[in-house]
Structure 1
Amino acid sequence: MWSKIEPLLEKRGITPHHLSKLMGDSNDSNVYALKNGKIKRPSFDLMCRIAKALDVSLDVFR
């Protein structure tokens, strides 16, 4: 899943830390767990928050 998120971050110049803040998370644990492969199947809620923070449709992550 990270392979679909990372290019969006790079295109916008957003770091994983900044993504966490855009998502409203008080820490970076979810984003870094996803990035490091510790979350293999992210929850629907997590993906919705990422999509909203990046202003993209969930379809982008299919």
Structure 2
Amino acid sequence: MLWSKIKNKLDEKNMTEYQLGKITGLGPQQIHQLKKRNSENPRWLTMIKIADALDISLDEFREKGK
């Protein structure tokens, strides 16, 4: 679920995973873990970096109805 939200934002901004990694400082392994395991509990700073890179609010990653 989380990765699908990130992927949608990447697509909207015509960004690649590689570009996301460069902007955030996240390595390919960290991005792969988010993608492959669809991590339900990523680190707070990781999510801040991703939200900043995608120019969105952290609220956009919240699951509705929880």
Compute the TM-score of the two structures, normalised by the length of structure 2: 0.81
User: 5+ residue gaps in structure 1?
Assistant: none
Instruction: Please list every run of at least 4 consecutive aligned residues from structure 1 whose deviation after the TM superposition is greater than 3 angstroms.
Output: none
Task: Note the aligned Cα RMSD (angstroms).
Answer: 1.3
User: 5+ residue gaps in structure 2?
Assistant: none
1:1-62 superposed matches below 5 A:
1-25=2-26, 27-37=27-37, 39-62=39-62
CA distance in 1, matches of 2:17, 2:8: 12
> Computing the radius of gyration over CA atoms, which structure comes out larger, 1 or 2?
2
Number of residue pairs matched by the alignment: 61
